[in-house]
């Protein structure tokens, strides 16, 4: 019986500390904001997100020969409304070229639901992590650079989501 | 007796050659190499070789490699320390050439990759040790002072290199990489215990120091 009490106590303690750290670390934005209406926080630029960016990548049907899918959504901060027609630039180190090379870059537009999807060559690990780069920098909203990491180098798709803030 | 000793010597050297050679061979067979430029490949292998040298260093200073006198072991430790610094320079320079912004992020501790700060910290520890070792006589550092500086930095180098390497997803094959890292840790712990590095005393191996 002592065991059960001890377990419950440790469980409570653990749960309490998880809650405490949760509130402390994610603070206002993580836990409290979603409960409020019209509170969707804008996406922050990720560290290293802008690395090897090339300005003005062209809108393409597909980057290179394809085989890998980059997809995601673009929404407006605050009310979370989907943003149509937004230009998202995508680049990565793929089987067809390094990150900085022009053929590794391309752009696409979001559809009426704020969704985008661009086929590109398979992303491979570079600098120790298989990752892609995405940028929004069309000016209407604040510029955001993302750098999502694949869970495994074997995956053939990757997602990234933008919540943009008007300038 | 003599036969056993030479057989043991051959086994130890063969084990060392395998411990370093197998991870290098496995990385050389990686399919990732097909998508990399020559400079990036060179940078990667310089890093793998550097990890191999990090294994050799405690083996030399602990006197675990048969056929090397304590004096020659220490001389080799010195030269391999220099080679380690050169390998790290090639590693960093090659990565810088491959992707300057990623390397700048790493060197400024602003990188999104969790392994970078470990590698960069180990790099600085290696440079500090190499510089101080080169200047030891000129600075008039006594052996005891030198050890107080070198041993903590050696721990930083070993721990930093192992974590750096294990967290990277690259050309190295997972099992041979983990085995090399485990060996580096095990040999480092063994040499620390054997030489009782935490004890403040002149030396456990008086005859070695007497010849310094």
| pLDDT tens digits, B144-167 | 899 999 999 999 999 999 999 999
Contact check, Cβ <8 Å, B99/A127 = yes
Contact check, Cβ <8 Å, B115/A128 = yes
Is 80 exceeded by the pLDDT of residue A24? no
| pLDDT computed for residue A35 by the predictor | 45
| pLDDT computed for residue A33 by the predictor | 47
Is 60 exceeded by the pLDDT of residue A11? no
| pLDDT tens digits, A60-105 | 999 999 999 999 999 999 999 999 999 999 999 999 999 999 999 9
| pLDDT tens digits, B81-138 | 999 999 999 999 999 999 999 999 999 999 999 999 999 999 999 999 999 999 998 9
| pLDDT computed for residue A30 by the predictor | 44
Query: Pairing relation of β-strands A115-120 and A132-136?
Result: unpaired
User: Among A22-26, B154-158, B180-184, whose mean pLDDT is lowest?
Assistant: A22-26
Residue bearing the bigger pLDDT, A20 or B144 = B144
- List the strands of the sheet with A105-109, edge to edge: A105-109, A87-92, A132-136, A144-146
| DSSP annotation of A66 | -
Check: pTM over 0.95? Answer yes or no. no
What percentage of chain B carries pLDDT values higher than 70? 93
| pLDDT computed for residue B200 by the predictor | 64
Contact check, Cβ <8 Å, B112/A98 = no
Out of A93, A98, A128, closest to residue B113 by CB: A128
ipTM confidence: 0.82
Alpha-carbon distances, residue B111 vs A47, A147, B40, B43, B202 (angstroms):
7, 11, 18, 18, 43
Window B:114-143, CB contacts with A under 8 Å: 115-116
Alpha-carbon distances, residue B113 vs A8, B7, B54, B88, B160 (angstroms):
38, 45, 23, 18, 14
Window B:66-85, CB contacts with A under 8 Å: none
Out of A47, A128, A149, closest to residue B170 by CB: A128
Written as six digits, the tokens of B159 are 């721990």
Question: Touching check for B98 and chain A: CB below 8 Å?
Answer: yes
Residue burial B72-106, b: 16+ Cβ < 10 Å; e: rest: ebbebbbebbebbbebbebbbebbbebbeebbebb
Question: Touching check for A127 and chain B: CB below 8 Å?
Answer: yes
Query: Pairing relation of β-strands A144-146 and A105-109?
Result: unpaired
Question: Testing the interface with B: which of A93, A98, A123, A127 to mutate, by most B Cβ within 10 A?
Answer: A127
Q: Which residue of A has its CA nearest to B165?
A: A128
The Cα of B195 is separated from the nearest Cα of chain A by a number of Å equal to 36
Query: Cα(A156)–Cα(A122) distance, rounded to whole angstroms?
Result: 7
Question: Testing the interface with A: which of B99, B120, B166 to mutate, by most A Cβ within 10 A?
Answer: B99
What percentage of chain B carries pLDDT values higher than 90? 85
Is 50 exceeded by the pLDDT of residue B74? yes
Q: What is the H or E stretch that residue A71 is in?
A: strand A68-76
- Per-residue pLDDT band at A10 (split at 50, 70, 90): very low
Q: Which of B105, B4, B106, B3 is nearest to B47 (CA)?
A: B106
Question: Touching check for A126 and chain B: CB below 8 Å?
Answer: yes
Mean pLDDT of all residues in B51-58: 98
Q: Tokens 């890998």 map to which residue?
A: A68
Mean pLDDT of all residues in A46-70: 95
CA angle A56, A61, A62 (to 5 degrees): 85
Question: Touching check for B110 and chain A: CB below 8 Å?
Answer: yes
**Cα Rg of chain B (Å, integer):** 18
Question: Touching check for A139 and chain B: CB below 8 Å?
Answer: no
| pLDDT computed for residue B5 by the predictor | 82
């Amino acid at each position: 019986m002592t065991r059960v009490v001890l377990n419950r106590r440790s469980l409570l303690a653990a749960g309490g500390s998880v809650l405490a750290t949760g509130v402390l670390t994610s603070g206002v934005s993580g836990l409290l904001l979603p409960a409020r209406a019209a509170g969707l926080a804008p996406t922050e630029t990720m560290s290293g997100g802008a690395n090897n960016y090339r300005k003005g990548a062209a809108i393409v049907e597909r980057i290179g020969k394809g085989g890998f899918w980059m997809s995601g959504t673009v929404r407006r901060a605050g009310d979370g409304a989907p943003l149509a027609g937004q230009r998202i630039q995508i680049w990565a180190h793929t089987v067809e070229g390094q990150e900085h090379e022009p053929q590794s870059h391309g752009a696409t537009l979001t559809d009426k639901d704020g969704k985008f999807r661009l086929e590109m060559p398979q992303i491979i690990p570079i600098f120790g992590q298989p990752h892609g780069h995405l940028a929004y920098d069309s000016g209407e909203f604040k510029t955001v650079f993302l750098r999502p990491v694949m869970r495994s180098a074997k995956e053939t798709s990757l997602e990234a989501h933008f919540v943009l803030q008007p300038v | 007796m003599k036969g056993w000793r030479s057989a043991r010597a051959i086994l130890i050297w063969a084990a060392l050659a395998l411990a370093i050679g197998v991870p290098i061979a496995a990385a050389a067979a990686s399919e990732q190499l097909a998508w990399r430029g020559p400079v990036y490949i060179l940078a990667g292998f310089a890093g793998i070789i550097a990890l191999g040298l990090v294994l050799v260093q405690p083996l030399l200073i602990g006197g675990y490699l048969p056929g090397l006198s304590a004096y020659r072991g220490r001389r080799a430790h010195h030269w391999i320390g220099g080679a380690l610094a050169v390998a790290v320079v090639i590693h960093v320079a090659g990565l810088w050439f491959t992707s300057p912004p990623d390397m700048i992020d790493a060197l400024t501790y602003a990188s999104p990759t969790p392994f970078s700060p470990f590698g960069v910290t180990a790099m600085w520890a290696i440079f500090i040790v190499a510089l101080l070792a080169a200047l030891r006589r000129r600075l008039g550092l006594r052996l005891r002072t030198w050890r107080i500086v070198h041993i903590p930095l050696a721990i930083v180098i070993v721990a930093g290199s192992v974590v750096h390497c294990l967290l990277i997803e690259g050309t190295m094959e997972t099992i041979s990489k983990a085995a090399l890292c485990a060996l580096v840790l095990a040999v480092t712990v063994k040499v620390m215990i054997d030489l009782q590095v935490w004890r403040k005393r002149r030396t456990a191996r008086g005859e070695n120091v007497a010849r310094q």
